[in-house]
Amino acid sequence: MLNRQGKIIPIADSAAPIYMDDGILSGVVMVFRDVTKERHTQREIEYLSQHDAMTGLSNRYSLEKTIADLEASQQVTSVIMIEIPLPCRIISVVDAFDAMTHNRVYRLAMSKKEALAEISRNKGKQFDPTIAQIFIDLIEREERKETDHATL
């Protein structure tokens, strides 16, 4: 539909019949609604669901979906592996630990011990194994220090 400025805009429409007392159709009420904002919001949600918020890079879900779609269409598929910069590898471990050890709207926080176990399970898969192990060692060392100070 064209708006008053002559720009094409997306719309949602609905129609309702108007009947006379005798049941004869006498007209229709049509309503058109501009859904530009809704479409923009939907695209934004879709983008965020498939990309890392910090880097803007495609996330694992998006990559796996793309590969599956290509394989299903029997197109030639190749995967290019790139090295993730060191700061990003560090942030991924720290951010995951922070997310796991704090309450979220959809779940309660894990204990530090549970979060460290989860990071350990995902070394070499989701997390750089060296960075993950260094992080685990640092957190465990800090925990021991806190325990030692508490017993003094």
Dist CA 147 CA 39 (whole Å): 53
The encoded tokens of residue 132 equal: 């993950």
Residue scoring higher pLDDT (89 or 152)? 89
Domain ranges (residues) in the chain: 83-144
The pLDDT of residue 67 = 80
What percentage of residues in the chain have a pLDDT greater than 90?
A: 56
More confident residue, 77 or 145: 145
What band does 152 get if pLDDT is binned at 50, 70 and 90? low
Task: Determine the pLDDT at residue 1.
Answer: 85
pLDDT at 49: 84
pLDDT at 108 over 90: yes
pLDDT of residue 28: 95
In this prediction, residue 15 has a pLDDT band, given cuts at 50, 70 and 90, of: very high
Using pLDDT thresholds of 50, 70 and 90, give the confidence band for residue 77.
low
If residue 148 lies in a helix (H) or strand (E), which one and from where to where? helix 129-151
Look at residues 112, 132, 114, 110 and name the one whose alpha carbon lies nearest to residue 123.
132
